[in-house]
A and B are shown apart, each in its own frame.
Chain A
Amino acid sequence: MTHDPLLRVENLEAWYGESKILHGVSIDVPRGETVALLGRNGAGKSTTLKAVMGIIRQRSGSIVLGGAPIESIPLHHVMRRGLGYVPEERGIFASLTVAENLVLPPRIAKSDVTLQDIYKLFPNLAERGSSLGTTLSGGEQQMLAIARMLLTGVNCLLLDEPTEGLAPVIVRRIGEVLRFLKTKGMTVLLVEQNFSFAQKVADRFFVMEHGKIIDKFSAADLSDRIPKLSNVLGL
């Protein structure tokens, strides 16, 4: 591991009411890298992202972003520290137009990605700017959810299952977007069930089961781990 992770999660625990979901999750996300969090349904991947973001308030442990702890700040300050969240259900607002959805989050810094870049990456968003958000197709909504965060100038993205339920051609587009982001120096924590997608874009992998990290390795060691992974992930 590098000495300077942009996002460092240590011993994270989280609860839904009475039931404990995360049992001490620790993840380092080095600056500029893409880290994939793998695991089966119900392993606690999405919960990890929500707990890091602070959407789940019943949690303990330490979350450090760019050297500063963020676990005790209000939810709306987390994004302002540079953490952009792209939820699994995409979070496109039905009563807002595409353009309103796109510029909803406040700008926190000058972004390396401009509106022109966005429209070049996702031409459909420009054409459909005045229609309501949820009239977009699933793939377009995913693009919108990612684009919305890129415009704000955050330097770390939490992506929850961006390929879920999308056609292969759209999945490839999202892969291209992630590689483009890497050239811009974006740090990404990606939750994925789609292993073949994750292995093409990620630099490091963490494997979760029953609310714990059970394995971690870098892309270079991936081929050695395939047998074990197929067992855990049911590939």
Chain B
Amino acid sequence: MSLFELSSSVIFGQLLVGLINGSFYALLSLGLAVIFGMLRVINFAHGAQYMLGAFVAWLVLRYAGIGYFPSLVIAPLVVGLAGSFIERKFLARVYALNHLYGLLLTLGIALICEGAMQYKYGSAGLPYSTPPVLSGAIDIGFMIVPIYRGWVVVASLVICIATWFLVERTKFGSYLRASTESPVLVQAFGVNVPRLMTLTYALGAGLAALAGVMAAPVYQVSPLMGQNIIIVVFAVVVVGGMGSIAGAIITGYGLGILEGLSKVVYPEASNIVVFALMALVLLLRPSGIFGRDEGLAGAAAGVDTQDSGYVLSPRMTRYLGMAGLLVLVLVPYIIYPTFAMKVLCFALFACAVNLLLGFTGLLSFGHAAFFGGASYITAYSLKVLGLTPEIGLLVGTLGAAALGLLFGFLAIRRQGIYFAMVTLALAQMFYFFCLQTPFTGGEDGLQAVPRGKLFGWIDLAETTTLYYFAAIVFVLGYISIRRIVHSPFGNILKAIRENERRAISLGYRTERYKLAVFVISAAIAGLAGGLKAIIFQFATLNDVTWQMSGEPILMTLLGGIGTLFGPVVGAILILSVENYLADSGFPVSVVMGLLFVLIVMVFRRGAVGELLVYAKRWRGWLDQRGAGRMLQRQQGLSVPPDPVS
């Protein structure tokens, strides 16, 4: 009997924790859904806006003595105003582009905000005390409830219902709903749609800030408080479906409670349960519990790829290839080999991401799972199982491929930005798995991994030998990607990228091609990760974080999406910047965020992409000049050009 009483109080306690978390999930997914409905942008900055809300409350209390209740108004206003500026100056300029750019742009903004706040205030949480009126606890018969927690649940419920009412029952809401269907038509009917979009984004950002203020006394105020919650909220949004406001609210509370209850039953799973449910929903009802089936709607305009069919001559390709190999051979005599090897790992990693993003049009935000996962497997094989490095690398690659098969099987059920969110959530689930399983060494990771002897007789302990081993692995990976891109299979991938619907109507089962390329990409990312474990002799949690998934995306963007060599250039540039910044103490994530914003706004072709445009113009000019001479030389030979980008 007493056992039952104990467990019931535990259950109610966790139920309340779940309700609190659910309140924040609901408020945040509500804002995301409102913004997405109107702007078609997945607001990655939502977590940062939540964090900024909490910080505004903390700052006005500290420097102006303004307390909790005024902050509930001030913080949403400040963050909403900042949001409307961001919408006007940045987001409004990428609406016509693929929706992925909106995601990447807001990711950049999030990185800037969080990096800057971390630089200023550190990572440790700052305390924010509960307002006196709401302190204490009340006994409601079967349990004792802290008043503030009760207040959070009630207040967030009221805000959710008010927002629902605003969207579903008011004139303003009818504008929003109509614009979700056809913004152009609504504007033609005399409604100022651009202003409506600004207001909507400000409203969403304001809701996030409001949630942040309410969260300040519950959790602590910290620059990274928004980062972890936003990924859970993405999973919530995938589960509920973006279709309805009510759906976002119900799913938010529901998953919060589910998470709370799982702490009673099986605490280890509580971090994972939301993501696991997401996987289940994707299997059974891909459009989400409350979502309408949008079919391929998410896969609208293509990414701004530079794979424009521009081809270098076969001779040029041979020259460039040989020059590249020569550089690879000479590098250890010119620069620090460890840095060169790091570049090779990340270049291969970025090439794997580009195979998906640039040549198939799929933005995977979960490739850290394959990179870091393979890194663990290879490290484990070498250290614990005592395998030779080439076998360890193979096992790591195969492990990443298997994981890729699992992720891909779930993720290809959704298109466009949903695909990105699903891969992100799955990778986050994997992160929590790695955090808890004994195999990875938890927080410590696997340290002091022996490099071993290649094929049992070439000792990799010597740096130059190691470098050439890494260079050979990189070249093999690069060549296989190049081969895939130029194969008939690669052409079908490009067809999917350009227009998936049309590829389907031509009779291709596009989901099989997408799954196949996803697995290949995961395997190559794994190869890169395994290589990294051998080179640096450790595997840690850092390699499976979501930030690690962002790195190769940024490298690909910077180098040029859909160019074969672009990711390599991107990796060199990004790692050089990181290397340089490491000594200066300037926050790296701010620079990365700025780069994301800059690239999306003005530099979508990337470095190699820009070069190709010039090369194309130059050749066009040469062709014009040489046209006469060419006629004289007519050989009647038609060599199919070997496309190289």
Contact = CB atoms under 8 A, between A and B. Distances in A.
B188 A104 contact: no
Interface stretch (A18-26, A78-86, A193-201): A78-86
B203 to A, nearest CB: 18
A178 interface: no
Interface stretch (A28-36, A60-68, A94-102, A115-123): A94-102
A93 B181 contact: yes
A154 to B, nearest CB: 9
B178 A96 contact: yes
B276 to A, nearest CB: 32
A95 B190 contact: no
A104 B180 CA distance: 14
B188 A54 contact: yes
B185 A91 contact: yes
B480 interface: no
A76 to B, nearest CB: 5
Interface in A44-95: 53-55, 74-80, 85, 87, 91, 93-95
A98 B175 CA distance: 14
A91 B190 CA distance: 14
B228 interface: no
A42 interface: no
Interface string A144-173: 000010001000000000000000000000
A194 B520 CA distance: 57
B189 interface: yes
Contacts of A129: none
Contact of B190 (A55, A76, A94, A96): A76
Interface residues of B, number: 19
Contacts of B189: 79, 85, 91, 104-105, 148
A78 B188 contact: yes
A76 B190 CA distance: 4
Nearest to A107: B190
Interface in B194-241: 194
Contacts of B188: 53-55, 75-76, 78-79, 85, 87
Nearest to B244: A95
B263 to A, nearest CB: 38
Contacts of B182: 91, 93
Interface in B146-196: 171, 174-175, 177-178, 180-182, 184-194
A103 B188 CA distance: 14
Contacts of A219: none
Given A100-B174, A104-B174, A104-B175, A75 B187 contact: yes
Contacts of A53: 188
B192 A104 contact: no
Given A87-B185, A95-B180, A105 B190 contact: yes
Contacts of A95: 177-178, 180-181
Q: Interface residues of A: mostly helix, strand, loop or mixed?
A: loop
Given A53-B188, A54-B188, A55-B184, A76 B193 contact: yes
A75 B186 CA distance: 10
Contacts of B178: 93, 95-96, 104
Contacts of B174: 96, 100, 104
Contacts of A108: 190
A124 to B, nearest CB: 20
A148 B186 CA distance: 12
Contacts of A55: 184-185, 188
B371 to A, nearest CB: 40
B600 to A, nearest CB: 23
A85 B194 CA distance: 19
Contacts of A91: 182, 185, 189
A80 B180 CA distance: 22
A79 B185 CA distance: 11
Given A96-B174, A100-B174, A105 B191 contact: yes
A63 B274 CA distance: 56
Contacts of A105: 189-191
A89 B189 CA distance: 14
B185 A76 contact: no
A138 to B, nearest CB: 18
Contacts of A148: 189
A79 B192 CA distance: 11
A105 B186 CA distance: 8
Nearest to A50: B188
Nearest to A106: B190
Nearest to B191: A76
Nearest to A90: B185
Nearest to B193: A76
A94 B193 contact: no
Interface of A: 53-55, 74-80, 85, 87, 91, 93-96, 100, 103-106, 108, 148, 152
Q: Which 7 A-B pairs have the closest CB atoms?
A: A79-B190, A105-B189, A95-B177, A93-B178, A100-B174, A75-B187, A76-B192
20 contacts: A55-B184, A75-B184, A76-B187, A76-B192, A76-B193, A78-B190, A79-B188, A79-B189, A85-B189, A87-B185, A91-B189, A93-B178, A94-B181, A95-B177, A100-B174, A103-B171, A104-B189, A105-B190, A106-B190, A148-B189
